[in-house]
């Protein structure tokens, strides 16, 4: 029985992709379960029962309260949207501030580059100056050597 190695590799790759998808789906399911639990736990109701057999209060114009029950429903998803909108506005303000700072820095860099270029054009190249002194030193050394040789030759005679 022979097996094609490319087919084995393809099957392994598809298996790894399916394992990744399963892991992602499990994490999504876990997150949704947690959100559902928190959404179920965020509920509050407000209910007022009036005593209709008692006379109406002259100040409020309503009969006296017999019982009260408070219930409110908090939508967690809306809180997230509001929070994300606030974060997005903060990020956009920070981004604008950074863009302004960046453009200011770019202007400074361009100004420094211009000044650097002007200074380079104004300065005298130090290599010519050193080359002149080097040539002068070589020539003077050559003449001193010739004079010493002539003196040695003349002094031996």
pLDDT in tens, 94-113: 888 888 888 888 888 888 88
Entry field: residues in the chain: 157
Q: Do 17 and 49 fall into the same domain?
A: no
Rounded Cα–Cα distance for residues 83 and 11 (Å): 44
Task: Answer yes or no: is 21 within a domain.
Answer: yes
User: Per the structure, how many domains does the chain have?
Assistant: 3
Residue-wise pLDDT tens digits, 65-99? 888 887 766 665 555 666 777 778 888 888 888 88
Task: Answer yes or no: is 145 within a domain.
Answer: no
Closest C-alpha among 45, 35, 111 to residue 78: 35
Task: Answer yes or no: is 103 within a domain.
Answer: yes
Residue 151 CA to its chain's centroid (Å): 79
- Number of helical H runs and strand E runs in the chain: 3, 2
Q: Do 84 and 120 fall into the same domain?
A: yes
What b/e string do you get for 73-111 counting C-beta neighbours within 10 Å, with b at 16 or more? eeeeeeeeeeeeeeeeeeeeeeeeeeeeeeeeeeeeeee
Residue 57 contacts residue 64 (beta carbons within 8 Å): yes
Task: Answer yes or no: is 112 within a domain.
Answer: yes
Q: Do 34 and 1 fall into the same domain?
A: yes
**Residues near 65 by Cβ (< 8 Å), separated by ≥ 6?**
48, 49, 50, 51
Answer with the residue of higher pLDDT: 75 or 144.
144
Tell me the HSE value of 156 on the side-chain side, using a 13 A CA sphere: 6
Residue 51 CA to its chain's centroid (Å): 62
Task: Answer yes or no: is 59 within a domain.
Answer: yes
**pLDDT (0 to 100) of residue 78:** 55
Task: Answer yes or no: is 154 within a domain.
Answer: no
- Provide the phi-psi class of 61: left if phi over 0, else alpha when psi is between -120 and 50, else beta: left
Q: Do 2 and 19 fall into the same domain?
A: yes
50 has a pLDDT exceeding 50: yes
Q: Can you give the residue range of the structural domain that contains 54?
A: 43-74
Residue 63 contacts residue 50 (beta carbons within 8 Å): yes
Task: Answer yes or no: is 102 within a domain.
Answer: yes
Task: Answer yes or no: is 153 within a domain.
Answer: no
């Amino acid at each position: 029985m022979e097996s094609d190695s490319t087919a084995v590799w393809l099957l392994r790759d598809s298996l790894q992709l399916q394992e990744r998808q399963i892991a992602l789906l499990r994490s999504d399911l876990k997150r949704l379960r947690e959100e559902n639990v928190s959404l179920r736990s965020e509920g509050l109701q407000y209910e007022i029962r009036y005593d209709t057999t008692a006379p109406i209060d002259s100040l409020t114009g309503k009969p006296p309260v017999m019982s009260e029950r408070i219930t409110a429903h908090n939508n967690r998803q809306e809180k997230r949207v509001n929070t994300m909108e606030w974060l997005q506005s903060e990020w956009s303000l920070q981004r604008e501030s950074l863009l302004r700072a960046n453009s200011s820095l770019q202007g400074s860099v361009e100004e420094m580059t211009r000044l650097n270029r002007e200074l380079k054009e104004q300065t005298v190249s130090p290599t010519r100056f050193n080359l002149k002194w080097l040539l002068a030193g070589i020539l003077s050394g050559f003449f001193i050597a010739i004079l010493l040789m002539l003196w040695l030759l003349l002094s031996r005679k």
